[in-house]
């Protein structure tokens, strides 16, 4: 390994070694300064005296434009190393125990925590360069809980490169090639490890706004040397660079709805569940409240043309119908239509319309759990419970657009030969890294499970093309 990934060079001071055996539970407040006394211990971790020797404008500063070619390269598997002191790693594990119970124990209840895990400072290494005191935490909801309770340490991570800039002035506005925040998705419940990336490829190749993604191997050193955590999908954060680079401006309201209000069913309006990811100090939710009111206006049944005109003026129905067609073809059940989460809404400053942005696709490209993915005609979806689907599909004009988008999907981004080629190239790319994952840090029980999952994906695209053709021809 590069000399910079040597733990002695990373920690830079023997003070961490003195505390490596300590069993210290940090505060669950992710903003806690890590240069203060921890709980009742009269021990102070002071690692503020360092020089950011690898810092350059292109790689570390917020003056650089996001380098998508460097960070999100499609034809290679890159490597990230995360180095966390043993003390801080233990604080992360203690916090997870508080949130989800004993590691490896499934008897901790079925609900996931509303509280995010804590951030701790860590060093991140990439291509021989170091990023300093990066905020690192575990991330996820049911996938995080399930992985933890199954005793698998291949957990998803969130990286925030200037989370601790108040504690460490040396890293003020630190970026990773222009990116402030990134997600490392652990490909939970996906033995192919392709679904997160492939689903987003289909959305983006169809012309929708969405996160860039790439495959990475992740190694974590939490005190005993670099441990291989396996193949991850690096995902661009919507509230960081997606809205900044794929829209004319990032000034519009960005929401990540979660809860009953995310269904937009009548009577569910709740500002607390239309979670704002920006403009938090401005108590202006008029765009989402207008969407709810317009969607349920009585003109829908008395004057459909007026209803469509009013809805089109505040909600990008074309984007939503294209998204809906793609999402239904590829069978992504863990989002709107089955679950009240896993999408963003952005008020596009160019149009003043709320625009749909897909998110979190590791459950896509399969029939799905619980009630499975919705049927192509939504005969199994309650219009009153999911009105953005039911009301639009039941309108003849919107239905015709949806049907046309279905045809576009199977002729374009999800065309059989295109997808078979994509599955072949991606599986060949990650196979050496996927099949070398180690027990305790993998969802695979054997390498054969990886190849079987790839085969199932290839069969899936054939079956979905047949299903769409049957639907359109009836």
CB hemisphere CA count around 213 (13 angstroms): 30
Segments of the chain with pLDDT less than 70:
1-45, 107-112
Residues forming beta bridges with residue 226, ordered by sequence position: 221
Task: Read off the pLDDT of residues 267-308 as tens digits, 9 standing for 90 and up.
Answer: 999 999 999 999 988 889 999 999 999 999 999 999 999 999
For the record, the structure tokens of 462 come out as: 């054939």
Contact 118, 28 (CB under 8 A): yes
For the record, the structure tokens of 337 come out as: 């239509």
Contact 45, 35 (CB under 8 A): yes
Look-up of token digits 């003195």: 18
Rounded CA separation 404/52 (Å): 54
Contact 93, 222 (CB under 8 A): no
Residues forming beta bridges with residue 218, ordered by sequence position: 80, 230
Q: What is the predicted pLDDT for the residue at 142?
A: 87
Q: What is the predicted pLDDT for the residue at 286?
A: 97
Tell me the H-state helices in 54-181: 57-60, 68-71, 86-100, 142-149
95 closest CA partner among 24, 43, 162: 24
Q: Return mean pLDDT, the chain.
A: 91
Pairing of strands 120-126, 157-160: unpaired
- At 208, which helix (H) or strand (E)? none
Rounded CA separation 9/123 (Å): 11
Q: What is the predicted pLDDT for the residue at 107?
A: 63
Q: 93-110 burial string, b = 16+ CB within 10 Å, else e?
A: bbbbeebbbebeeeeeee
Q: What is the predicted pLDDT for the residue at 113?
A: 73
Rounded CA separation 277/254 (Å): 6
Contact 161, 171 (CB under 8 A): yes
Rounded CA separation 40/21 (Å): 16
190 closest CA partner among 16, 377, 361, 402: 361
End-to-end, the C-alpha distance of the chain in Å comes to 60
Rounded CA separation 239/167 (Å): 23
Single pTM value for the model: 0.90
User: Concatenated DSSP letters for 117-135?
Assistant: PPPEEEEEEETTEEEEEEE
Rounded CA separation 31/236 (Å): 23
The helices-and-strands tally (H runs, E runs) of the chain is 16, 10
Rg, the chain, Cα only: 23
Task: Read off the pLDDT of residues 106-123 as tens digits, 9 standing for 90 and up.
Answer: 765 546 677 899 999 999
Residue-range domain boundaries for the chain: 7-246, 254-411
């Amino acid at each position: 390994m590069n000399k910079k990934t040597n733990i002695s060079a990373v920690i830079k001071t023997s003070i961490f070694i003195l505390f490596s055996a300590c069993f210290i539970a940090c505060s669950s407040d992710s903003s806690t300064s890590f240069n203060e006394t921890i709980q009742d211990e009269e021990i102070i971790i002071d690692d503020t005296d360092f020089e950011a020797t690898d810092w350059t404008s292109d790689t570390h500063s917020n003056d650089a434009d996001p380098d998508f070619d460097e960070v999100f390269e499609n034809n290679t598997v890159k490597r990230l190393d995360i180095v966390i002191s043993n003390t801080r790693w233990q604080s992360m594990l203690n916090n997870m125990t508080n949130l989800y119970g004993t590691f490896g124990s499934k008897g901790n209840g079925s609900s996931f925590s509303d509280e995010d895990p804590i951030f701790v400072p860590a060093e991140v290494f990439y291509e021989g360069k170091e990023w300093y005191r990066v905020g690192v935490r575990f991330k996820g909801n049911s996938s995080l809980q399930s992985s933890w309770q199954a005793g698998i340490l291949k957990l998803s991570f969130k990286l925030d490169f200037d989370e601790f800039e108040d504690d460490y002035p040396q890293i003020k506005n630190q970026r990773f090639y222009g990116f402030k925040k990134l997600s490392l998705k652990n490909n939970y419940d996906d033995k192919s490890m392709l679904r997160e990336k492939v689903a987003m490829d289909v959305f983006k190749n169809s012309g929708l706004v969405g996160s860039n993604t790439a495959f990475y191997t992740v190694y974590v050193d939490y005190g005993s040397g670099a441990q291989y955590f396996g193949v991850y999908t690096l995902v661009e954060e919507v509230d960081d660079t997606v809205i900044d680079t794929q829209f004319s401006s990032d000034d519009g309201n960005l929401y990540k709805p979660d809860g009953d209000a995310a269904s937009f069913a009548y009577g569910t309006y709740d500002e607390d569940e239309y979670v704002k990811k920006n403009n938090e100090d401005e108590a202006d939710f008029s765009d989402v409240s207008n969407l709810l009111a317009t969607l349920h206006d009585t003109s829908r049944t008395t004057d459909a043309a007026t209803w469509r005109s009013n809805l089109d003026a505040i909600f990008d129905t074309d984007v939503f119908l294209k998204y809906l067609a793609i999402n239904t073809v590829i069978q992504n059940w863990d989002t709107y239509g089955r679950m009240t989460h896993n999408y963003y809404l952005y008020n596009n400053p160019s149009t003043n319309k709320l625009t749909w942005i897909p998110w979190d696709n590791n459950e896509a490209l399969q029939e799905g759990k619980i009630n499975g993915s919705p049927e192509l005609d939504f005969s199994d979806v309650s219009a009153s419970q999911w009105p953005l689907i039911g009301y639009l599909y039941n309108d003849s004009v919107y239905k015709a657009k949806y049907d046309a988008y279905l045809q576009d999907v199977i002729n374009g981004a999800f065309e059989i030969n295109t997808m078979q080629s994509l599955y072949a190239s991606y599986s060949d790319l990650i196979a050496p890294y996927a099949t070398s994952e180690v027990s305790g840090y993998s969802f695979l029980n054997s390498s054969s499970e990886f190849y079987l999952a790839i085969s199932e994906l290839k069969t899936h695209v054939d079956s979905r093309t047949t299903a769409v053709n049957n639907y359109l021809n009836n």
